[in-house]
Amino acid sequence: MSWAALKPDRIEAVINMMVFDARGLVPVIAQRHDTGEVLMLAWMNAAAVRETLSTGRACYWSRSRQSLWRKGETSGHVQRLVDFRVDCDADAVLLLVEQEGPACHTNRPNCFFNVVRDGQLAVISEPIED
């Protein structure tokens, strides 16, 4: 499956209809296109949206490093873009992706592994062995 890169003017049209917050960011949900598993929540600024839509690979904005975060650039755990969706208020994004390897930096399949069980938070998944 491969993403048909958008032309630059089309990318700018998408960016122009999106609503970024005071920091210039939107929250982005990454979901596996095949199983529906929610993988992670991250952030994009306009430059990250531009790169994602032109390359077909998820690129976020790292709030901690204050720089573009090309997901999987060092780990190899890239997310290939299948669909890019914007919500009713245009201030949140849902990416459908093909995930290579684990999505979480803890090496778990997804980031949402702390779950309320028996009245308290429990860890429900283990890191994947390399």
Q: Of 57, 51, 38, which Cα lies nearest the Cα of 104?
A: 38
**Residue among 41, 67, 73, 75 that touches a second copy (CB under 8 A):** 41
Is residue 104 close enough to count as binding a second copy by CB under 8 A?
yes
Contacts of 85 (CB under 8 A, 6+ apart): 93, 94, 95, 96
Instruction: State the DSSP code for 41.
Output: E
Is residue 119 close enough to count as binding a second copy by CB under 8 A?
yes
When the beta carbons of 73 and 117 are compared against a second copy, the nearer one is 117
What does residue 54 show for φ and ψ, rounded to 5 degrees? Answer: -90, -30
The Cα 49–Cα 51 span in angstroms is 6
User: Do 92 and 29 touch, CB atoms closer than 8 A?
Assistant: yes
Is residue 2 close enough to count as binding a second copy by CB under 8 A?
no
Each residue 57-76 as x (binds a second copy by CB under 8 A) or -, in order, gives --------------------
Number of residues that bind a second copy (CB under 8 A): 40
The residues of the shown chain that bind a second copy, judged by CB under 8 A, are: 4, 6-7, 10, 13-14, 17, 27, 29, 31, 35-38, 40-41, 53, 83-90, 92, 94, 104-106, 108, 111-116, 119-121
